[in-house]
Structure 1
Amino acid sequence: MYTQLNPKTKEKDFFGVFGSVIITLLLPTVVLFLYLCCNETYVIDGISIDFNKINEIVQDELIDNWKSLLLNFDCWLFYLCWFFGLVLFDLIMPGKTIHGVELRDGSKLEYLINGWQLSLLFVSLIIGRLFYVGDFNLPELRFLTDNYLSLAVTSFEFSILLSIFVYICSFIPLRDVNGLKTNERILAIGGNSGNLFFDWFIGRELNPRIKSWDIKLFCELRPGLLLWFLLNLSNLQKQYLELGYVTNSLVLVNLLQAFYIFDGVLNEEGCLTMMDITTDGFGFMLAFGDLTWLPFTYCLQSRYLSFKNYELSLIQSCLIVSIMIIGYYIFNSSNKQKSLFKKGKLPNLKSIQTESGSKLLIEGWWGLSQHINYFGDILIALSWCLPTGFNTPLTYFYIIYFTCLLLHRQTRDEDKCKKKYGKYWKEYQRLVPYKIVPYIY
């Protein structure tokens, strides 16, 4: 398909340099806006925003306190210990070594898969710490609660530095095992435009590594995901210390999201075939998304509920759990079906044979829609938002954003498949016309 190892980028995603500049400025602003609408001083109520309150917070916490916010020694110490502590565990924990997808040069990268081991250690350390303290009053969780905004800013600054680091490294030649011959790094098809800012933003190198340690996979599944879990736990602790009990809505959000978090960590092998790993470069977009956006926006529901003492009825709780179960079943079973099919373990399922040797599955889950797993993902997102009630649309930010993200991914995937499969893709679209939601879209 490619005449050279690293062809120049012809089509820039996100409207090129202009779009990448807008996104680089806009997304951190969104994180800040969500904080301003949900904090110790002010929690949004209904659809109207009290801009006088927000102006006061901006003056007190951003303008008057900008040095502490941008250069917070305690937060930097915490974040560096957190990030590189997880790096250390990722390197020393035992696990199994598997190969990723075949790259353009015919090679396959090795990955150490140790999500089970790391999860057991992580949970054991938290439980052990609780027993040691003797009460649900961990100082580490209080630190997260008390320094939420400063930690978000610190993770943002760290993501900038990390993306600069991997961008510079993408120009350093690799050497073979004998140290005699230089080799090109494999760059992302979409990140080799030659424009410094765009390539830094989108990610120039496909799989930046330090020896065998993969930076992209680590950031995808370790620091952001597990920090999201701790932020949720800190919100739980905050409410417990203030009220002496925890509302069932906050418990439910914590449980549903914790299940999703550890399911991702435990099934990290499945990430090796995802677009983030196989196609996208690792630059500021993914670094910021993994390290800042994910933990500090995905915890919005638990953060909101820690301020609003909202109780759910038994029927409401059962309905929400049912939506989560249905969504997870669709998401998990459809992904598992496609994985087994690709391994040749479901030969009886109908498919379209293409000239490239690939097969397009048109039966089972994948006969219902082209991205039936996205439909499951949307139901999961809905189950996280519903426990917050219907007092404000702010807590439904996640499902709105996530649906837009999945729609964008769907269009990117469709463009890629049109170029790759040609007439076979047209036949596939005729047989499987729905893109995400069966019989609707």
Structure 2
Amino acid sequence: MKTQILGFFTPWIIYALITLLHYFLPGKWVTGYVRHSTTGKLLSYKLNGRLVLLSTVILWLAAGHFELVAYDWLYEVRWFSLAGAVFFGLVFSLSIVLPYASTGKSLVSDIFLGRLENPQFKNGRIDAKMWLYLIGAVMLELNILSFIAHRYSEFGSVPAGLILSAAMLTYFIVDYLSFEKVHLYTYDFFAERVGFKLGWGCLAFYPYFYLIAIWATVNLPDPNTPLWLLVCYALLFLLGWSLARGANMQKYVFKTAPEKVFLGIKPKMISDGNKTLLVNGFWGLSRHINYLGEILMGTAIALSVGYPEVIWVWLYPIYYVALLLPRQIDDDKRCAEKYGELWQAYTQKVKYRVIPFLY
């Protein structure tokens, strides 16, 4: 019973630690893309995700070294930890929605999608969206380390495919936290509110579901995947990353310095005199080429563990498809309303929605 209780509250303790580190560690203040709903001023964000990640991992490894907690503790209490995160996510979601004015939609819609657009606390030192993504990313990394530690302690070795899958996820996390300012210009920040979808998603879903390929195969025999096949999976991941990161970076550069050349790509745009849209480079391939990149990365992570016949490993890339394709439809509708005839001209130049020459 003691282990169960400790396991349940483990994510609470870790989330509190991450919050304190985020608040007190130095960070870079960056002006974002979205504006305050009341004052109209551009919001500023304190960004220190990479430092928080490094500090948390060091503290976790130090705790294991000094036997304060087992290296594989999060694996041993995984179900209780997940339950604690689920409950914490529910409490947060209700507390960030119910005290605030309705959007005019149903209560269920408000709870799921949220009422506040970009809430910030402690004089802006904690932005709810950045905090949620930081919590999810750091907790995911600790789970990865713990699951790999369990595999090593039980079997004395870790399959190369499992290491590759863990490395891809870690790269995904480090990359995201290294380019936090770029993500201030993404759909989440200018189009979504903070409710169950984002709150519970980052606190309970993100840090546990994203490693489902490792979770489902960590105790299975070594599949002995050929080296050449692992190299192919790594290349598929890098292709996906190149599309996702390249597209987001090109958009960021275009938003902040419209005439600047990015990776040798001179920006081409169409304009109605007031608004402009980018129509070349990554954004000339499809309207949401970054979504294709995310799906390819998820597919590579699922394949790398070496058990394509295990259906659970495919839930991760399937989740991306289920999340991003409806988002693409919503984003297209939003852009059509915002840009009007300019958007129609844009879709004539960039005909494909996500997958070039196919969709």
TM-score where L is the length of structure 1: 0.74
Match of 2:237 among 324, 335, 343: 324
| SS at 1:273 equivalent | coil
Instruction: Give the counterpart letter for 1:361 in structure 2.
Output: L
Instruction: Give the counterpart letter for 2:260 in structure 1.
Output: L
Displacement of 1:130 in angstroms is 5.3
Would you say 1:346 and 2:260 are equivalent positions? yes
Displacement of 1:141 in angstroms is 3.9
Would you say 1:84 and 2:16 are equivalent positions? yes
Q: How does 1:21-420 map to 2 (within 5 A)?
A: 73-103=5-35, 104=37, 105-129=39-63, 131-132=65-66, 139-171=69-101, 192-211=103-122, 212=124, 213-220=126-133, 222-309=134-221, 310-343=223-256, 344-346=258-260, 348-355=266-273, 357-388=274-305, 389-420=307-338
Instruction: Give the counterpart letter for 1:346 in structure 2.
Output: K
Encode CA deviations 1:358-409: one digit per residue, 9 max, x unaligned: 2111111111111111121111111101123322222111111211211011
The answer on whether the counterparts of 2:286 and 2:353 sit within 8 Å (CA) in structure 1 is yes
Separation of aligned partners in 1, 2:190 and 2:84: 29
Structure 2 alignment gaps of length 5 or more? none
Displacement of 1:126 in angstroms is 4.0
Displacement of 1:129 in angstroms is 4.3
Separation of aligned partners in 2, 1:72 and 1:132: 22
Identity %: 26
The answer on whether the counterparts of 1:115 and 1:267 sit within 8 Å (CA) in structure 2 is no
Displacement of 1:127 in angstroms is 4.5
Separation of aligned partners in 2, 1:399 and 1:314: 23
The answer on whether the counterparts of 1:75 and 1:154 sit within 8 Å (CA) in structure 2 is yes
Query: Structure 2 vs 1, CA of residues 140 and 291 (structure 1 numbering), >3 Å: closer, same or farther?
Result: farther
Encode CA deviations 1:322-370: one digit per residue, 9 max, x unaligned: 1111111121122111111122243742211135x22111111111111
Separation of aligned partners in 2, 1:362 and 1:335: 14
Separation of aligned partners in 2, 1:296 and 1:146: 14
Structure 1 alignment gaps of length 5 or more? 1-67, 172-190
Displacement of 1:196 in angstroms is 2.6
Instruction: Give the counterpart letter for 1:422 in structure 2.
Output: G
Separation of aligned partners in 2, 1:140 and 1:426: 57
Encode CA deviations 1:97-122: one digit per residue, 9 max, x unaligned: 11122425421122111123223323
| SS at 1:167 equivalent | coil
Query: Structure 2 vs 1, CA of residues 210 and 193 (structure 1 numbering), >3 Å: closer, same or farther?
Result: same
Displacement of 1:140 in angstroms is 4.1
The answer on whether the counterparts of 1:203 and 1:281 sit within 8 Å (CA) in structure 2 is yes
Larger radius of gyration: 1
Encode CA deviations 1:237-271: one digit per residue, 9 max, x unaligned: 11111111111111111111101011112211122
CA-atom RMSD in angstroms: 2.1
Instruction: Give the counterpart letter for 2:87 in structure 1.
Output: E
Encode CA deviations 1:144-172: one digit per residue, 9 max, x unaligned: 1122112112111111111121124434x
Encode CA deviations 1:265-298: one digit per residue, 9 max, x unaligned: 2211122112222221101111111111112211
Instruction: Give the counterpart letter for 2:53 in structure 1.
Output: S
The answer on whether the counterparts of 1:170 and 1:208 sit within 8 Å (CA) in structure 2 is no
Encode CA deviations 1:173-214: one digit per residue, 9 max, x unaligned: xxxxxxxxxxxxxxxxxx712533321221101122223221
Separation of aligned partners in 2, 1:77 and 1:375: 37
